[in-house]
Amino acid sequence: MTNLIFHHDAPRLPLVTPGVIPVLMYGAGPPRRRTGSIGGAVRSAVRRLGVRVPERAHDLLTVAMAVTAADTFANRETVEGQREAADGWTRDLRLRIPLENPAPWQPLRPLLEEALHFLSGDLWTLEFLPDGPLRPVPLRRGARTKLHGHDSVCLFSGGLDSAVGALDLLAAGRRPILVSHSYRGDAEKQEWIWGRLPTKVSRFAANAHPVSDLGHLNDVQMRTRSFNFLAYGALVAATLAQQGLVQEPIGLIVPENGFIALNPPLTARRIGALSTRTTHPHFLDLVQRLLDELGLPVRISNPYALSTKGEMLRCCANQATLAAIAHETVSCGKWKRTGKQCGKCVPCLIRRASFHAAGMQDPTPYEPYNQDLAAVLPREEAADDLMALVLAAKRLPTTDIGRWVGRTGPLPTDLDKRGLLLDVAHRGMAEVRAYLSSIGLIT
């Protein structure tokens, strides 16, 4: 079990003891040895909204910061001779989180713990306490995020799907505020793409920046990042609603192709460690229930839940701009290590298949030694994802789609809705199969 105890006042953090990680909430850095901090830059981004944000939306942000810190600082691996997770994967995480107003959160603990367990595979126990961080004083001068003239919020990662999402909204006459995780590396891509959109819209960008001197305690997979992302979006959407400028509820758009959102496991061993659920429909439904119970006038939607990535590209309403910016969008989860997209991980392979399915030239500058996938396949240490996709694509004609997709998470009980989701999973895998066949990896 790992206990994480949070406070925004460093002297009130507990002393370090075995199994306890003290974390400074909205701090710029760890206040002392064997501690952590998170969210200092986020505080500044919230101030730049220029208005006082809603209390419950800010408390949601604080909870998301705590979850991100736990996901980062509590390791799954063996540490100092003891295994943090008994099965090498599932962690037992207990968080004590002071909030401005914990009362509305107390009855929501089971719902939130269920959502986080589904998202990360860990066991979560949350304790909400009083005396939490107050909402920051709004910035009255300088560079502020303009809210007026906008009608919705759209998550904007710098990826290919989020670029299509923004372009389609603008083409439809919408004016979304774009919300980004501005991690190092990602921020530059996001800025570049944002600056080339056909219509100027506001952008809220923040970096949670979890920092510690714990060294070995760092879960680089960061499975809960989407909860943090949604908390950013909900904060901005609730603040927009509070201004009374747009009819409620405010749309919080999550642009993600339906195949990746479902993310069915390519092999049996990928059900846990390698099948993320960041935008799975079930997870988004759980978060929507949380927002509803909190009384936040925010409506989450994924307009591409029934579209493959290739269909998103082919149907994008602004093909000219898409062609001009696609090469700078990032799909690869490993590109930060080298500054290039690897071309052989699952997200890269689905990206390559999507351009093929859309009949578009792929302008992505992948790692040169991975351009030829036929040459990657014999390199066992480099071909794990590619081999998994090849095997899954070969099985497609005989795959029980319902059982396959259902392994990642619950599907709707409504047979029509369920059938539509199963169909997009089948079409998404069919795009991969067609691409791999086109380059001779499947006969």
pLDDT tens per residue, range 227-257? 999 999 999 999 999 999 899 999 999 999 9
Question: How large is the average pLDDT for residues 245-274?
Answer: 85
pLDDT at 86 over 90: no
Nearest to 38 by CA among 70, 86, 13, 79: 70
User: CA-CA distance, 144 to 42, in Å (whole number)?
Assistant: 14
pLDDT at 341 over 90: yes
pLDDT at 137 over 70: yes
Residue in the structure block whose two tokens are 């009255």: 140
Residue in the structure block whose two tokens are 């009855």: 107
User: CA-CA distance, 293 to 116, in Å (whole number)?
Assistant: 16
pLDDT for res 77: 63
pLDDT at 103 over 90: yes
Give me the chain's average pLDDT, please: 92
pLDDT category of residue 337 using cuts at 50, 70 and 90: confident
pLDDT for res 213: 85
User: CA-CA distance, 268 to 260, in Å (whole number)?
Assistant: 17
User: CA-CA distance, 94 to 85, in Å (whole number)?
Assistant: 13
pLDDT at 159 over 60: yes
pTM of the model: 0.95
Q: How many CB atoms lie within 10 A of CB 410?
A: 13
DSSP state, 378? T
Question: How large is the average pLDDT for residues 267-275?
Answer: 58
pLDDT for res 79: 43
pLDDT for res 269: 64
Alpha helices, H only, 74-158: 109-120
Q: What whole-number percentage of the chain has pLDDT above 70?
A: 93
How many residues would you count in the chain? Answer: 443
Across the beta sheet with 2-7, the strand order is 123-129, 92-98, 2-7, 20-27, 36-39, 211-212
User: CA-CA distance, 156 to 168, in Å (whole number)?
Assistant: 13
Name the CA dihedral angle for 409, 412, 417, 421, rounded to a multiple of 10 degrees: 0
pLDDT for res 124: 98
pLDDT at 87 over 70: no
Residue 343: alpha-carbon gap to chain centroid: 21
Tokens of 134: 């107050």
pLDDT at 57 over 90: yes
DSSP, collapsed to helix, strand or coil, labels residue 151 as coil
User: What does the pLDDT look like over 354-397, one tens digit per residue?
Assistant: 999 999 999 999 999 899 999 998 887 789 999 999 999 999 99
Q: Does residue 190 contact residue 158 with C-beta atoms inside 8 Å?
A: yes
Q: Does residue 358 contact residue 319 with C-beta atoms inside 8 Å?
A: no
Question: How large is the average pLDDT for residues 339-348?
Answer: 93
Name the CA dihedral angle for 443, 276, 351, 419, rounded to a multiple of 10 degrees: 70
pLDDT for res 81: 39
pLDDT for res 305: 98
pLDDT at 330 over 70: yes
pLDDT at 272 over 70: no
Sign of CA dihedral 119, 120, 124, 127: negative
pLDDT category of residue 273 using cuts at 50, 70 and 90: very low
User: What does the pLDDT look like over 281-320, one tens digit per residue?
Assistant: 999 999 999 999 999 999 999 999 999 999 999 999 999 9
pLDDT at 222 over 80: no
pLDDT category of residue 188 using cuts at 50, 70 and 90: very high
pLDDT for res 89: 72
